[in-house]
């Protein structure tokens, strides 16, 4: 198991992993934010519109609920956001989650660029490990890109 990186443990040049969580349920967002906030910089959105405003190239990973309206059983708006986000930020890992057993949504998420699919209720140790792994990978890619850009300008 990878140990948590807290403010005291993190290297100065390694920023806290920024995670955007998109889910229509405020109680679920608050619970996830509370469980992750010591180790991750968590921002939340309850709508696609808000998530679009918050997502930027400083985001290390995105956790998206497949169904963004509990009342509509056919709702798969999370997949719409996934496709939009991957088209604009292809390097950011996108993790999908769902409380429903829906093989078709899992396949569609995978085909649309999701890095991982989680079943609700979320296994927090598994989620933290995934966010560390994907967040560290994105930090490394960003540092490599900045280094190369610095070399080109010399």
Mean pLDDT of 132-149: 65
pLDDT of residue 76: 87
Give the right CATH number for 17-153 from 3.40.50.720, 3.40.50.2300, 3.40.50.620, 2.70.98.60: 3.40.50.2300
Q: How confident is the model at residue 59, as a pLDDT?
A: 96
Report whether 45 contacts 26 (CB < 8 A).
Answer: no
What sign does the dihedral 88-115-91-6 (CA atoms) show?
Answer: positive
Residues 109-129, mean pLDDT to the nearest whole number:
94
Instruction: Report the run of H or E that residue 41 belongs to, with start and end.
Output: strand 40-45
pTM: 0.80
What b/e string do you get for 96-117 counting C-beta neighbours within 10 Å, with b at 16 or more? bbbeeeeeebbebbeebbbbbe
């Amino acid at each position: 198991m990878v140990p948590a990186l807290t403010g005291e443990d993190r290297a100065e040049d390694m920023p806290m992993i920024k995670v955007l969580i998109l889910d229509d349920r405020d109680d679920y967002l608050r619970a996830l934010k509370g469980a992750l906030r010591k180790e991750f910089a968590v921002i939340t959105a309850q709508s696609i519109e808000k998530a679009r405003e918050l997502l930027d190239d400083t985001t290390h990973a995105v956790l998206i609920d497949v169904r963004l309206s509990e009342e509509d059983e056919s709702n798969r708006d999370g997949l719409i956001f996934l496709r939009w986000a991957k088209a604009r930020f292809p390097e950011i890992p996108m993790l999908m989650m769902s409380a429903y057993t829906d093989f078709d949504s899992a396949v569609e998420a995978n085909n649309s660029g999701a890095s991982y699919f989680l079943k609700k209720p979320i296994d927090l140790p598994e989620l933290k490990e995934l966010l560390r792994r994907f967040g560290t990978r994105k930090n490394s890619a960003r540092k490599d890109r900045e280094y190369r850009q610095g070399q080109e300008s010399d």
